[in-house]
Amino acid sequence: MIASTLAGFTGAALVGLGLYGLIIEPHPLRKLLSFNLVGSGVFLVFGIVARRGASGSYAFDPVPQAMVITGIVVAFAASALAVALILRLYAETGGVSLDADASTSASPNSDASG
Amino acid sequence: MVAVLLPVAGILASFVGGGRAAARIMLLAAPLVIVIAGAIAIQIGYCGQPLVYTVAAIPPPLGIALRADGLSAIMMLTTAAIMPAAALYARAAFEPPNGISDSRESLTFWIMLQAIQAALTLIFVGSDMFNLYVALELLTFAAVPLVCIDGRAETMTAALRYLLFALAGSICYLLGTALLYGEFGTLDMALLAQRMRPAPAVWLASGLMTAGLLAKTALLPLHLWLPPAHANAPAAASAVLSGLVVKGSFFIILRLWFDILPILPAQSVDVVLGLLGSTAVIVGSALALRQARLKLLIAYSTVAQIGYLFLVFPLASGANAGASLGWRGGIMQILAHAFAKAAMFLSAGVLAQALGHDRIAKFEGAGRALPLTFFTLALAGLSLVGLPPSGGFSAKWLMLQAAIASGQWLWSIPILAGGVMAAGYMFRILTPAFADGTAAIVNSPDRTQGAVALGLALVAIALGFVPPAFFDFLEIGRTAAALVAK
């Protein structure tokens, strides 16, 4: 029981750290890493849920484990998409930042988009 | 359940066929999708109860069920109607250049459009919380490339920002799912509703899920990603993103609070959501009034109209007298906004193409040059403002009635103020257009595109004339738990 409680706390800490980074860090790549940190925390929580759901001859509840696998695949796809976007943005502009041009696209010299 | 598989089959076929074929596959599949959605709706209306399909015949909690009730049938029909409209509109814009049978841009566009359709359908019929998570992610991954399809740095930033907001939202939702599973050992909606009881984990989970979904729906404090993303996407994509995609995550919030958690004593949650919604109505409209570009104005108007959706929570929950009126008003608002906003974005696309820009100040005389487009904008605006007869009017009228019947008349202030402000920004578009002057037409507008936009606007108006039976149909299959609690 001690081990799973410890793992639970670790998961909670990862989620907390990740959320903090996601909100505070200005750089998209750091935001993405923070997202992955939250993701790891959530998967750990799923693991704990699986351990606590153990019953009968099963040491683990298999359903949350199946969900974790799906979750990892989704998070991986998300990270890949985000990295691709960041790389493309870097190649296009020589820098990566979320502010300025996106939030002030109402500025008069930006052209109309169809 | 063919409804989910058909777009997926379309995607696979598009990969094989390439850009030109993908457009044809989408347009051929569209009537089929409408027929299927219609058949589901008719069957639900005929039986008076929801259709349930268990995948591989394994019942929940181990298996996954798909469940279509009156509301999901209506949402599927709406999607099935707007998707081909956007596709017809986009056919000219995303035709691969002459001599080339395939271009990356067009292939991506058609595949992503079909992926959005598949994801939305899955959201509307999904009844497993984890299944919904996967559908939500599919929706995001399909929507983000649509935003940055033209590859300019500006759109790429908008897409990246959208993606990061969406990821933060979905990971919160996933954590909520984990906690719910830990508490109840199931994620099937009907079973969850039966086993639901107030517990700390439930509050935490529902808070996380709601916050995550709010980020995806772009309710006010989390709306920052929406205007740049929707305003920079190509017109056909904006219409789908603004009209349908944000409704996907809102639909799950509705399911969460009305179908799964009605037992919780959640008055304060309702009030908070209602307040956020009211703020969104006021601030979104005010920002829309200040925009210089038509597409940004329409995007901020979306922020305001999303605010209206959240007034459903204080108006339609609990045992108060107007609850059912409030519920109907909220659903009507989803539908009316979907059609009106799609029509507006498509007309804005026609305008931008014809004039070569979409600066509102330079519209002088454009009303005479492009009468059909401005007529469409005015019709859609009619619905957004809430003037009778239109879907928007019915929605606001029902909400007002609910606010007064339940004694919560304070909520009528944002409803009315939002209408007045919407009138303000509609006049800002139309006044310069009908002023004296001559607008230089760069490209002559495409007739089909104008007609498609006009058709959508007419549907938004026609929603004002739906018979009462339509609302009874919406009530089919609201879960037993929800009805007991009401």
Percent of chain A clearing pLDDT 90 (strictly above)? 39
- At residue B162, the pLDDT reads 92
Contact (CB<8Å) A98/B160: yes
Q: Is the peptide bond before B61 cis (omega within 30 degrees of 0)?
A: yes
**Residue in A41, A92, A106 nearest the CB of B292:** A106
pLDDT at B326: 85
pLDDT band at A98 (very low <50, low <70, confident <90, very high): confident
Residues of A within 8 A of B128 (CB-CB) are none
What ipTM does the predicted assembly reach? Answer: 0.85
Q: What is the pLDDT of residue B245?
A: 92
The Cα diameter of chain A in Å comes to: 68
Work out the percent of chain A whose per-residue pLDDT is above 70.
Answer: 84
| Mean pLDDT score of chain A | 81
* Closest in A28, A64, A86 to B181, CB measured: A64
Contacts of B135 (CB under 8 A, 6+ apart): B119, B122, B123, B126, B248
Strand partners, B51: B68
For tokens 């066929």, what's the residue? Answer: B17
Q: At B54, phi and psi to the nearest 5?
A: -100, 125
B263 or A89, which is more confident?
A89
> Which of A42, A88, A90 to substitute to test the interface with B, most B CBs within 10 Å?
A42
Q: Would you mind telling me the total number of residues written for chain A in this entry?
A: 114
Q: A2-93 architecture in CATH?
A: Orthogonal Bundle (1.10)
Residues 6 or more apart from A9 whose CB is under 8 A from it? none
Asked if A78's CB is within 8 angstroms of B141's CB, the reply is yes
pLDDT beyond 90 at A34: yes
Q: Cα dihedral sign for B342, B344, B347, B349?
A: negative
The Cα of A57 is separated from the nearest Cα of chain B by a number of Å equal to 17
The single-letter DSSP state of residue B256 is I
pLDDT tens digits, one per residue of B212-268: 999 999 888 888 889 888 888 888 889 999 989 999 999 999 888 888 887 777 778
Distance of CA A85 to the CA centre of its chain: 16
**Dist. CA B449–CA A82, nearest whole Å:** 33
Q: What is the pLDDT of residue A106?
A: 38
Residues B427-458: tens digit of each pLDDT: 888 888 887 777 777 777 777 888 888 999 99
Query: For residues B468 and B470, what is the distance between their CA atoms, to the nearest angstrom?
Result: 5
Interface of A with B in 36-75 (CB under 8 A): 38-39, 41-42, 45-46, 48-49, 52-53, 61, 63-64, 67, 70-71, 74-75
Give the pLDDT of residue B105. 77
User: Where along chain A do its domains lie?
Assistant: 2-93
pLDDT of residue B283: 92
- CA distance linking residue B235 with residue B110, whole number of Å: 14
**Residue B282: exposed, middle, or buried by beta-carbon count in 10 A (0-12, 13-18, 19+)?**
middle
Give mean pLDDT, residues A11-19: 92
pLDDT at B321: 66
pLDDT for residue A83 is more than 90: yes
Entry pTM? 0.88
d(C-alpha B222, C-alpha B371), whole Å: 37
Residue B277, pLDDT score: 92
Here the tokens at position B14 are 């598009």
The three-class DSSP label of residue B481 is helix
Q: What pLDDT, on a 0 to 100 scale, did the predictor assign at position A50?
A: 85
**pLDDT lower than 70: segments of chain B:** 1-21, 56, 61, 92-103, 318-321, 477-486
Per-residue model confidence (pLDDT) at position B486: 33
Contact B319, B405 (CB under 8 A): no
**Is residue B228 within 8 Å of B158, Cβ to Cβ?**
yes
